[in-house]
Amino acid sequence: MNQDYLEELFSKIDITLPAPEREPERQYYFMKKLRSGIKELSERIGHTPAYHVETFGCQMNAKDSEKLSGIMSAIGFIEATGEKSADFVIYNTCTVRENANLKVYGRVGFLGNLKKKNPNMLIALCGCMMQEEHVVEKIRTSYGFVDLVFGTHNLYMFAELLYECLNRKDRKPLVRVLAASDKIVENLPSEQKFSFKAGVNISYGCNNFCTYCIVPYVRGREKSRRPDEIVAEVKRLVNNGVKEVMLLGQNVNSYGNDFRKSSDIPEECKKDFPELLKMVSEVPGLMRIRFMTPHPKDLSDKLIEEIANNPKVCKHVHLPMQSGSSRILQKMNRHYTKEDYLDLVKKIKDKIPGAALTTDIIVGFPGETEEDFEDTLDVVRQAVFSSAYTFQYSKRTGTPAASYPDQVPENVVSERFDRLLALIHETSEKLADKAVGSTVDVLVEEINESKDTLTGRMDNNMLVHFKGENRLLGCIVKVKLEECKGFYYTGSVLNLD
């Protein structure tokens, strides 16, 4: 968020009055109250207080963490280099897999040891993991040194919760977790990782209830943001130098379904996802639009046409398959068959020549036979993905699949997983090789350790490494692809002048 805009907001707030009820004004009120105490805190600890936000999980969590960081900066904290140098550590947790929970418990134990050396250290836990009652109870009983616990539905209340935490009468963890919420609160401070690209939430929650997935239980039902608010946020970002936005939702394809079913929503807000894409693309100065994540059951011909015909929409479709077996897909509650998926792949490739197609695949779902797995390999051969995110199935307590019979032995899952990886590597490398020699537009994203080497991302989401000057960071440049290295290319920049 622009600093001048932030200071203007603060200048209008009178903290001698009661806190306003309206959001996000209420949160800015508490930010200003917290900010007024920063000088005293700095004098007490001997330095400007520092924070560290650690993100576990998906891009939605990463976006949430940018808000947490933005709020901390607005209050007056500076960013620490890590937990050891921080006065306030925030873990934004993920709970998609149980080993993610175990990892967080281990890291929180590490924080407990740090807090013994620095009793003034504050620790907050938030995110999806905190939406589970048994997790919160374990924090209370086994990790009593944690100061603040909150969930996904009231993350926007972070400033208010921190104020309450600092003014509590005892040292017990302050726990504020909502079971559900119909509120969407945006326009909070945010610290973007990149100045030239940003994520924009278009919806929250999920209605799909895949049998292996905990997300609908911890993120809640789908809630869409109003299209005019989304466009306004994109305009603000572009005015601050952003060239590329990624529209984020658990299932972007079903954006607006809740609006269309409601009589309380104005007709002009009842847009579907292809219409939203078109609205966002009309923002002057915006150069690229990506989105994550679509669901195959909701990916319409209208959306394919919009991707094909809109020059600002990147020609990359992430299409999570999960399994190539119609029988397993039914057990997963995915609402499509192997044939449906392949038909969709054909439509995308016919309408969007050269489009990059990526996917997610789970190996070893309960009851998966060798025949089922062969169906998955068959789809990989036919679809020819640019890349794939592959996972070995593991039980997730709280999901239907965790209690399914016929859990596949670990050694069988591991052997199938290796075969899948080998096939994906083989097919994707052959596809990537075809682009060698072509010239592509690349958004320069990173300066590598070797000072004269840069990394950028093509329209189709593939990475390219090339020699170039640091001044190109954040620019879109033309790069000739010279060699394919599997999942990335090396190349050279053209027309630097």
Q: Is the N-terminal amide bond of 409 cis, ω within 30° of 0?
A: no
Q: For residue 495, what pLDDT is reported?
A: 66
Domains of the chain: which residue ranges?
Answer: 3-176, 192-314, 325-355+367-390+398-434, 439-494
3-state SS, residue 82: coil
Cα 137 to Cα 133: distance, rounded to the nearest angstrom: 6
pTM, entire model: 0.92
Q: For residue 261, what pLDDT is reported?
A: 86
Question: pLDDT at residue 496 above 80?
Answer: no
pLDDT above 70 coverage of the chain, percent: 99
Q: How confident is the model at residue 497 (pLDDT cuts 50, 70, 90)?
A: low
Query: Residues for the chain: how many in total?
Result: 497
Taking residue 495's Cβ as centre, other Cβ atoms within 10 Å add up to 7
Q: Which CATH number fits domain 3-176: 3.40.50.12160, 2.60.120.460, 3.40.50.300, 3.30.499.10?
A: 3.40.50.12160
Question: pLDDT at residue 188 above 90?
Answer: yes
CB contact set of 486 (below 8 Å; sequence gap of 6+): 425, 428, 429, 432
Q: How confident is the model at residue 264 (pLDDT cuts 50, 70, 90)?
A: confident
Give counts: helices (H), strands (E), the chain: 16, 19
CB contact set of 267 (below 8 Å; sequence gap of 6+): none
pLDDT tens digits, 331-360: 999 999 999 999 999 999 999 998 999 999
Cα 321 to Cα 336: distance, rounded to the nearest angstrom: 10
Q: For residue 87, what pLDDT is reported?
A: 96
Q: Which residue, 236, 190, 171, is CA-closest to 70? A: 190
Taking residue 284's Cβ as centre, other Cβ atoms within 10 Å add up to 7
What are 90's strand-pairing partners?
53, 124
Question: pLDDT at residue 220 above 70?
Answer: yes
Q: For residue 345, what pLDDT is reported?
A: 98
Question: pLDDT at residue 175 above 70?
Answer: yes
Measured CA angle at 8 (ends 3, 11), to 5 deg: 125
Q: Which amino acid, residue 436?
A: V
pLDDT tens digits, 20-71: 999 999 999 999 999 999 988 899 889 999 999 999 988 889 999 999 999 9
Query: What average pLDDT does range 441-452 have in this prediction?
Result: 88
Question: pLDDT at residue 450 above 80?
Answer: no
Q: For residue 402, what pLDDT is reported?
A: 93
Topology (CATH level 3) of domain 325-355+367-390+398-434: Transcription Regulator spoIIAA (3.30.750)
**439-494 has which CATH code?**
2.40.50.140
Q: Which amino acid, residue 272?
A: D
Question: pLDDT at residue 2 above 80?
Answer: no
pLDDT above 90 coverage of the chain, percent: 85
**Sheet of strand 148-150, all strands in order from the earlier edge strand to the far edge:** 78-79, 50-55, 88-93, 122-127, 148-150, 174-176
DSSP, residue by residue, 387-414: EEEEEE----TTSGGGG-S-PPPHHHHH
Question: pLDDT at residue 388 above 80?
Answer: yes
Q: For residue 452, what pLDDT is reported?
A: 81
Topology (CATH level 3) of domain 192-314: Transcription Regulator spoIIAA (3.30.750)
Cα 219–chain centre separation: 13
Q: pLDDT averaged over the chain? A: 94
Cα 363 to Cα 417: distance, rounded to the nearest angstrom: 6
